[in-house]
Amino acid sequence: MKILVATSNPHKLEEIRAIMVDAEAEIISLNDLALEFPEPVEDQDTFEGNAVLKAKYYAERTQMLCMADDSGLEVDILNGEPGVLSARYSGKVGPRKIVDWANNKLLLQKMKGMAPSKRTGRFVCAMALCDPKKDKPLVEVRGTIEGRILTLDECDDVVRPEKGKGDNGFGYDPIFFVPGLGMTTAELTADQKNRVSHRGAAAREMARQLVLIQKTQMGEKK
C-alpha cells in the first residue's frame, strides 16, 4: 500500500514515518512527486475540515490514497486561538524559522502578564485518509496533548523570548510546556515526542486503522 502524505514539511513527514513504521505502507510526500499543484485554500473552521479538504484535493489530483493532517495550537483564554490559523497567525511570510518565531512572539505578547494557571491549552492534530474513488474519507482521527504556554521569564532568551526553550521542535514547540514532563515539546527527543505528541497519537490511531483496512482487503481477496 502506497500512501501520499500531503505535506512538504520534512519535520512532519519524519515524525509520521517514524510513528507509522510498523504499518505495511510506503509513505511518500509531495516532495517525492514530479508533479506540481497549487495548494488548496484551507478555508475550513476546524482542523478536521481542513484535513479532509487537503486529503481529498491531493487524492483526486494524484489518484493515490492520500493522508493529510491539520494541526495547531488552541489556547483556552484566547478562545482557542491561534487554532486553524496557527501556521499563519502573525501574517509573516518567509523561511519557516522566521515565521515560527513571529507566531510565537505574537502569542507571547497577547498573553503578557498572565499567570501560568491562565496559560493552558493543547496541541491538536486531525488526520484524514482519502481514496480518490470514494466520496467520504476512509479514516478520520484526532490526537491531542495538553500543556501551557511559557511565561516570558521562563524563556531562555529574555531579548528573544519567542525562541522559548529547546531546539528539537518547530512551530510553537519551544513555548509549549508540558507540566507532566517538566519541559517544552522542543526539549523532548524525537522518540519522546513521538510517544506523547498530538501528531504521535493521531498517527498511531491512523496506523491501527490502516492495519484493519489491510486485513479487510486481504479477507475480500480470499
Distance CA 204, CA 194 (A): 9
List the grid coordinates of 103.
507566531
Distance CA 102, CA 171 (A): 10
Tell me the angle at which helices 10-19 and 198-221 cross, rounded to the nearest 10 degrees.
60
Using DSSP, state whether 28 is helix, strand or coil. strand
Distance CA 208, CA 202 (A): 10
Catalytic positions, written as ranges: 70
